[in-house]
Amino acid sequence: MEQNQFAFQKKKRVVVKIGSSSLQYAESGKLNFTKLDHLVRELCNIRNRGMDVCLVSSGAIAVGRQTLGIEERPQDISVKQACAAIGQARLMMIYQKLFAEYNQVAGQVLMTKNTMVNPVSRENARHTFDELFRLGAIPIVNENDTVSTYEMQFGDNDTLSAIVTSLVGADLLILLSDIDGLFTDDPHDNPDARLIEVVEEMDASIYEMAKSSTGSDVGTGGMSTKMTAAKIATLSGADMIIANGADVCILHHIFEDSFRGTIFQAGKRDSFRIEDFILETIG
């Protein structure tokens, strides 16, 4: 199947995930406000197309560590949680200001593993998302790192974004990463590595291609976490795209069916239950 056969402009509900490394300057680790503004404008344009849109945004810990003057990524969980408490508030303040410039309302949703495995919490979260979409708001989602110890397993929000996709019944998940997509080999080491444009089915050969590192000092998610996200999204009935977030304007190119990236074709399985998957893989 060719990329231009997917007709993404007909999608109804879209989840966009952007990683820490796509939001910051590699040299200083500080926020790239120009890119943030462009991202918000792209999301508002998706909303203006008539689609529901949700943003899963990494960066809280990284922003907090920059605010506190911590140069290296903290390893201690309590330090990470303190950085997240400071960084999440600052990051949302920036997002709220930028969205307001485009006359768009945004709302914050913080989630933990227990949000999904507890039936009451899961339904409450689903209803909250549905109401935000009904009101025309754009939910901005992050893991609640101030109280959660599962951040490393979620893998820089790749898995979380797929969980949100499954929870809200989205039909498209877009992972904006620091790589163009899934390659036959690591493109950092092998110049002959070939980009795979469409994955019609997640089989053993696809998982074997996944690499554990993106070469980033800021994000924590490698290609293996993106494969987990692809499994969740496709089994839940959503197409998934991995695209390079170096230029967030790639978002409108996706909806014009003209972009470079990897598409994972939806293959909904009625027996797939996201809460069971979380318990089996995260514990």
Query: Are the beta carbons of 241 and 263 closer than 8 angstroms?
Result: yes
Range with the lowest mean pLDDT among 59-73, 84-98, 163-177, 235-249?
A: 59-73
For residue 117, name the pLDDT band (cuts at 50, 70, 90).
Answer: confident
Helix (H, G, I), strand (E, B) or coil at 253: helix
So what's the pLDDT on residue 283? 58
For residue 263, name the pLDDT band (cuts at 50, 70, 90).
Answer: very high
So what's the pLDDT on residue 146? 64
Range with the lowest mean pLDDT among 3-17, 66-80, 189-203, 218-232?
A: 218-232
DSSP 31: B
So what's the pLDDT on residue 145? 66
So what's the pLDDT on residue 36? 95
Query: Are the beta carbons of 145 and 74 closer than 8 angstroms?
Result: no
What percent of the chain stands above pLDDT 70? 89
Average pLDDT, the chain: 87
So what's the pLDDT on residue 75? 82
Indicate the length of the chain as a whole number. Answer: 283
3-state helix, strand, coil in the chain (%, to 5): 45, 15, 40
So what's the pLDDT on residue 188? 79
Inform me whether the pLDDT recorded for 214 exceeds 50: no
Inform me whether the pLDDT recorded for 221 exceeds 70: no
- pTM for the model stands at 0.90
**Model confidence over 180-195: pLDDT tens digits?**
999 988 887 888 889 9
| Structural domain spans, the chain | 7-281
Please give the CATH superfamily to which domain 7-281 belongs.
Answer: Acetylglutamate kinase-like (3.40.1160.10)
Residue 82 CB neighbour total at 10 angstroms: 19
**Model confidence over 238-259: pLDDT tens digits?**
999 999 999 999 999 999 988 9
**Model confidence over 157-169: pLDDT tens digits?**
899 999 999 999 9
Two tokens, residue 184: 């036959």
